[in-house]
Amino acid sequence: MKKLLDELKERKLQKEADFNNSYGFTKMLKDQIEGKNNSWAVRWYMSAFLKDIPWLWAL
């Protein structure tokens, strides 16, 4: 998980990953690293985002 966060920071993509700061995905990932949550979805999303894999946002 830390590897995902490190890559996100290195590529300066936090704002984009958070939909222009509209969602707290980066914070969720940080919280997960600190053991504050256990969301598989944030790990999946960040992995797909960093690999530029197309996905659909289910509503």
- Maximal CA-CA distance, the chain: 31
Residue 1: its pLDDT value, please? 85
The first and second tokens of residue 22, run together, are 């509209």
The three-class DSSP label of residue 50 is: helix
For 9-47, write each residue's pLDDT tens digit: 999 999 999 999 999 999 999 999 999 999 899 999 999
Residue 26: its pLDDT value, please? 97
User: Which residue shows structure tokens 């958070």?
Assistant: 18
The three-class DSSP label of residue 39 is: coil
What angle is formed at CA 33 by the lines to CA 16 and CA 42, rounded to 5 degrees? 45
- State the Cα–Cα distance between residues 29 and 57, nearest whole angstrom: 18
Global pTM value = 0.85
